[in-house]
Structure 1
Amino acid sequence: MKLNRKTLLKTTLALTLSASIGLANAAAIDALKKFNTDTDGISGTFSQTVQSKKRSQTTHGDFQILRPGLFKWDYTKPYKQTIVGDGTTIWLYDQDLAQVTKRAQNQTIGDSPAAILSNKNALDASYTLKEDGSEGGIDYVRATPKSNNAGYQFIRIGFRGDALAAMQLRDSFGNNTTIRFNNLNTRPNLSRSQFTFTPPKGVDVLSQ
């Protein structure tokens, strides 16, 4: 059974923060800010597990990010779903449902982690950062939202050495999302045209 589409969108948008967080050690904050400043694009593959009190669901796919404000997440297993942020609109295409949902990007990402994609200043403006220990060879930084209406409690971003390895997110309902990253490229050859989306013929298009 699939998770609620609204929950999926929020947790997926949270994935976009992963491209902007650095090392959890004495120099973690400096490394984080340098990474945030220097990184204009990133791509790779991911596995994402969303765990609630009653069930757990794991999905797999690949992603692309081009700053400012462009991102694409392709879920490939166990179902096919695409989320595209084109700078103005966020499109969510569910192939099984033959349905596309569109939302205004600035209203959808708001003060969420995805805002870091569109505004490099969002890291300092929206989060309180601190080192958060190591687990399984991965060093973590905890990012706590400054806003009380962010919709999540905290985000933990993990690095193995200088390579992005994992992210953990707990939302305001107590659901936990864990993401593992692989095959990362911090200098992908991306163009803005790759982040355009046109709804396929015959699908329902819903505006929210």
Structure 2
Amino acid sequence: MTVQRFLVAGLVMMMAVTVVAANGNVPAAERLAARMTELDQLSAGFSQRLVDGRGIELRRTSGQLWAERPDRFRWEVDAPFAEVLIGDGETLWLWDPDLEQVTVRPYDDRLKATPARLLSGAVEDLLDAFDVDHLAVDEGRDRFTLWPQGGDALFERLEFIFEGEQPRYLIIHDGLGQRTEVELLDVRTGFDPDPERFRFDIPEGADVLYEEAESSAHD
């Protein structure tokens, strides 16, 4: 399972800030957006696993992520195989050090309808791209379920689970009955990340693959 599939199929995390008081009159999308609005930076470790429809674990990975609004993120898989995905708001780089290969592509409309935009994109895109349900699971824990709008989404639905004021779990369901469960560890917010973290200098001698942007099916 590559980082590129994690991103495009929905394996990225969201950022959150202060908990909004439970209020049945507040729409779920607005409640979730309020958690994100004040957040500009996030870093965390992650542990994630891919599970099939029978609950059998197919793969487990771990690594680190960094994000800064607007539209900048870095996703590093440490184990079992190193991979790096970087976005600066205009360009995406996928670096596979084992293959010494980098894939370069521009941002496009499909990315707006993926969890990647929850990582670092404009909060307004959340309300445009997803229908949101909210459930207070128990005291101190909230679950938000996001259903992508349109027929060209790359996943069926995703769930964010918050414990207190921090996001703790992301569960992504695909159309094949599989799900990816991501746990966030040691979450940090409100710091000044190194801007060079969100740029990628292509190593000398690396194979470079350029991909074209994909437009939305509705365009």
Report the alpha carbon displacement of residue 24 of structure 1 after superposing the two structures with TM: 9.4
Which position in structure 2 is the counterpart of 1:15? 12
The number of aligned residues is 204
Report the alpha carbon displacement of residue 139 of structure 1 after superposing the two structures with TM: 2.7
Match of 2:153 among 150, 155, 158: 150
Q: Which range is displaced more, 116-125 or 70-79?
A: 116-125
Structure 2: 5+ residue runs without aligned partners? 212-219
Report the alpha carbon displacement of residue 96 of structure 1 after superposing the two structures with TM: 1.3
Q: Which range is displaced more, 46-55 or 182-191?
A: 46-55
Report the alpha carbon displacement of residue 191 of structure 1 after superposing the two structures with TM: 4.0
Aligned equivalents of 2:70, 2:140: Cα separation in 1: 32
Report the alpha carbon displacement of residue 8 of structure 1 after superposing the two structures with TM: 3.3
Which position in structure 2 is the counterpart of 1:83? 85
Higher helix share: 1
Match of 2:173 among 167, 170, 173: 170
Aligned equivalents of 1:73, 1:103: Cα separation in 2: 16
Cα deviation per residue 1:48-89 (whole Å; 9 max; x = unaligned)? 112246861111111100100100001111111100001111
For the 8 Å contact 2:102–2:207, the answer to whether it is kept is: yes
Partner amino acid for 1:146? Q
Partner amino acid for 1:94? D
Match of 1:128 among 122, 128, 131: 131
Aligned equivalents of 1:120, 1:191: Cα separation in 2: 23
Which position in structure 2 is the counterpart of 1:39? 39
User: For 1:36, what is the secondary structure of its paired residue?
Assistant: helix
Distance 1:112 1:139, change over 3 A: same
Aligned equivalents of 1:135, 1:95: Cα separation in 2: 43
Aligned equivalents of 1:136, 1:97: Cα separation in 2: 47
Two-structure CA RMSD over aligned residues (Å): 2.6
Distance 1:34 1:107, change over 3 A: closer
Aligned equivalents of 1:111, 1:61: Cα separation in 2: 24
Report the alpha carbon displacement of residue 114 of structure 1 after superposing the two structures with TM: 1.7
Report the alpha carbon displacement of residue 92 of structure 1 after superposing the two structures with TM: 0.6
Structure 1: 5+ residue runs without aligned partners? none
Cα deviation per residue 1:124-176 (whole Å; 9 max; x = unaligned)? 11111112453897431111112221121111000112221101011223321
Aligned equivalents of 2:65, 2:138: Cα separation in 1: 25
Which position in structure 2 is the counterpart of 1:93? 95
Matched, 1:204 2:177: no
Partner amino acid for 1:75? V
Q: Which range is displaced more, 87-96 or 135-144?
A: 135-144
User: For 2:12, what is the secondary structure of its paired residue?
Assistant: helix
Q: Which range is displaced more, 51-60 or 38-47?
A: 51-60
Report the alpha carbon displacement of residue 25 of structure 1 after superposing the two structures with TM: 7.9
Cα deviation per residue 1:79-108 (whole Å; 9 max; x = unaligned)? 111000011111111111111111112255
Which position in structure 1 is the counterpart of 2:22? 26
Of all paired residues, the percent bearing the same amino acid is: 24
Distance 1:35 1:149, change over 3 A: same
